[in-house]
């Protein structure tokens, strides 16, 4: 679907709080951190939202140039983060989210396209994105965008007592 009025641009430091707000809302049902908290409670007194929001700080620290936002009517409504590996030339999309209420309109696809363009521009030959088995949208969208499944991973956690 076309998404008129949506522009993709590099993030600015003033966008960070809204990126984090979108993140903690968007990952409620599709986050390893949330799954762990549901099963075991808070880890070291930290809330899953706090840990997930910190991933954004980590992505920005890893590659500030690789944080792109989708803006609609002057408001940040989604984002994607990208990291690069100059040796393997495999780029990676660690995080991607679109604001609730504006999903299914093509904004996520547009962010992925922009991320792929950026990776190519920076010399990457391949791009990687991961999703959880519980994430029906990711399982549908990424193959549709040309990503091929290469592996499935299972995360285990044990309480140490």
Ligand X SMILES: CC(C)(COP(=O)(O)OP(=O)(O)OC[C@H]1O[C@@H](n2cnc3c(N)ncnc32)[C@H](O)[C@@H]1OP(=O)(O)O)[C@@H](O)C(=O)NCCC(=O)NCCS
What is the contact surface with ligand X in residues (CB under 6 A)?
A: 26-27, 30, 96-98, 103-109, 131, 135-138, 140-141, 144
Which 8-state DSSP code applies to residue 102?
Answer: S
Nearer to ligand X, 123 or 133 (CB): 133
Nearer to ligand X, 42 or 140 (CB): 140
Closest contact distance (angstroms) between CB of 65 and ligand X is 21
Burial of 133 (0-12, 13-18, 19+ CB in 10 A): exposed
Task: Please give the residue whose beta carbon sits closest to ligand X in the complex.
Answer: 108
Nearer to ligand X, 5 or 44 (CB): 5
Closest contact distance (angstroms) between CB of 139 and ligand X is 7
Closest contact distance (angstroms) between CB of 125 and ligand X is 22
- Radius of gyration over alpha carbons of the chain, in Å? 16
Closest to 49 measured CA to CA, from 22, 78, 14: 22
Nearer to ligand X, 114 or 159 (CB): 114
Distances (CA, A) of 16 to 56, 63, 104: 8, 14, 23
Closest contact distance (angstroms) between CB of 69 and ligand X is 13
3-class state of residue 122 by DSSP: coil
């Amino acid at each position: 679907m076309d998404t008129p009025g949506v522009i993709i641009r590099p993030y600015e430091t003033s966008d960070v709080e809204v990126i984090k707000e979108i993140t903690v809302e968007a990952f409620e049902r599709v986050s390893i951190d949330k799954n762990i908290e549901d099963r075991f409670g808070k880890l070291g007194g930290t809330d899953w939202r706090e840990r997930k929001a910190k991933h954004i700080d980590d992505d920005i620290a890893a590659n500030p140039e690789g944080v792109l936002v989708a803006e609609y009517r002057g408001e940040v409504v989604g984002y994607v983060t990208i990291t690069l590996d100059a040796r393997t030339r495999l780029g990676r999309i660690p995080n991607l989210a679109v604001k609730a209420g504006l999903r299914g309109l093509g904004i996520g696809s547009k962010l992925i396209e922009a991320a792929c363009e950026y990776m190519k521009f920076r010399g990457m030959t391949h791009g990687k994105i991961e999703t959880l088995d519980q994430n029906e949208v990711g399982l549908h969208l990424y193959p549709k965008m040309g990503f091929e499944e290469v592996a499935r991973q299972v995360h285990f956690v044990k309480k140490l007592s």
